Amino acid sequence: MALWTKAGVWMAGPQLALCWARTLGTRAATAPKAVLPFEAIPRCPGNRWLRLLHIWKEQGFEDLHLQMQQIFQELGPIFRYDVGGKHIVLLMSPEDVERLKQADGYLPHRTAMDPWLAHRQHYGHKCGVFLLNGPEWRSDRLRLNPDVLSLQAVQKYLPMVDSVARDFTKALLSKVLQNPRGSLTLDIQSSIFYYTIEASNLALFGERLGLLNHSPSPTSLAFIHALDSMLKTTVQLMFMPRSLSRWTSPRVWREHFEAWDYIFQYANNSIQKIYQELALGRPQHYSGIVAELLLNADMTLDSIRASSIDLTAGSVDTTAYPLLMTLFELARNPEVQQALRQESLLADAKISENPQRATTELPLLRAALKETLRSPHEEKTWHAPHHSSPPTAEETCCQGCGVSAPVLKNFQVETLTQDDIKMIYRFILMPSTLPLLTLRAIN
């Protein structure tokens, strides 16, 4: 999420921010300094309720990241920003963000997505790891780590992601070869979304949705529609107090709840299938993250269900758009693309034999993905630095590694434009206009 790498954002009251200011002041200075009060932090001018009205009228806050950049230039590396009833403190300096993260300790406070939380509270559902705070968050996070984020866990489900990536590439190649010119220009975003949902669902629940087939099932299409509706309505509701939006946007709330209802129903059905299969005997082969969590029995069934739903919802567009922008940047930087293709071809035999080796055999590809996540897309040139350090668990979880290598091996990716794409903020940073990419088959 490029916005969060450019600026740290926290909901804060005076007490929390004063503690944080003291930490920053004592660590940053070589000698003790007087700690300024919370009120000394510059405040962004403007009416917070007019900002909220603008968000409501525009159904989102598309230029939030650009406004933040301008305000940082005017007010300095820290300022207060109020929207409706929310009070936010923003940091610009990565060093300050690092100090704050270090000061958080074992129980960092993370602002929950209020529309997501409202659905759980209404039905009495258990919250997953994305929505928890305090000791309960830490307890669930520590129980999830071995089967989700550890390098050993990633090596188990990476072959699943790899198999979806190869099917995705075959589907694209089939479309390209149907064209006599051996190339195809298209908006690839929907195809990438299908890939990310298919890969995420397989890794979590051990089941294919069939989204890469010519005719996906009605159930799969309904699941996609629910995810899309949930993400769209999240943007419309996330900046507005619940007490106000329930009167101004009842239709949006209804659509949001209906989308979550379907996602919960789908997850419940998937978990029930896994549970029934496990009751018949321990599987001989790895069958997904949720099956491992059920076998380990370290978490309650409600906790497993809640976190698997959070992972389902949180792994789609946060993977799809970085992957789309990676392909766009490679399309307008053909020399980097060629270097990545050579790396992919040299590593192909080793990865085909053992997909887990993708995490170590493709250092330049991992660096390219990290550069896309880092870049605010304001520069006219883009370089993928060589990256030779061992992969962390977080890096290996990036599903883009599973698809970019086979795509680059089979296609020359080109773009019709060399201009930067304006980015907008809708839950995550995403392109305002989706780039058309030309895939040219390589013999």
- 253 sits in which H/E element: helix 250-279
177 and 153 belong to one structural domain: yes
pLDDT at 379: 38
pLDDT at 32: 58
114 and 57 belong to one structural domain: no
340 and 351 belong to one structural domain: yes
Would you give the distance in Å from CA 391 to the centre of its chain? 18
Range of the domain at 332: 108-443
The last residue of one of the domains, among 88, 105, 122, is 105
Number of structural domains, the chain? 2
12 and 139 belong to one structural domain: no
pLDDT at 389: 41
The last residue of one of the domains, among 80, 105, 130, is 105
pLDDT tens digits, one per residue of 341-361:
999 888 888 877 887 777 788
pLDDT at 401: 53
Structure tokens at 366: 């991992």
78 and 169 belong to one structural domain: no
312 and 282 belong to one structural domain: yes
279 and 414 belong to one structural domain: yes
Q: Do residues 403 and 165 lie in contact, with contact meaning Cβ atoms separated by under 8 Å?
A: yes
pLDDT at 274: 93
- What percentage of the chain has pLDDT greater than the value 70? 85
Q: How far apart are CA 203 and CA 399, in angstroms?
A: 10
Q: Residues 6 or more apart from 16 whose CB is under 8 A from it?
A: 10, 109
pLDDT tens digits, one per residue of 47-63:
888 887 777 776 667 77
Neighbours of 160 (CB within 10 A): 24
> CATH number of the domain that 442 lies in?
1.10.630.10
pLDDT at 259: 96
- 425 sits in which H/E element: strand 423-426
Parallel, antiparallel, or unpaired for β 8-11 and 436-441? Answer: unpaired
Residues of the chain with pLDDT under 70: 1-33, 58-60, 375-404, 443
101 and 247 belong to one structural domain: no
**DSSP string for residues in 168-220:** HHHHHHHHHHTSTTSEEEEE-HHHHHHHHHHHHHHHHHS----TTSSS--HHH
CA angle 87-140-403, nearest 5°? 85
pLDDT at 403: 67
23 and 165 belong to one structural domain: no
252 and 323 belong to one structural domain: yes
160 and 65 belong to one structural domain: no
The last residue of one of the domains, among 82, 105, 128, is 105
142 and 9 belong to one structural domain: no
Q: Do residues 382 and 343 lie in contact, with contact meaning Cβ atoms separated by under 8 Å?
A: no
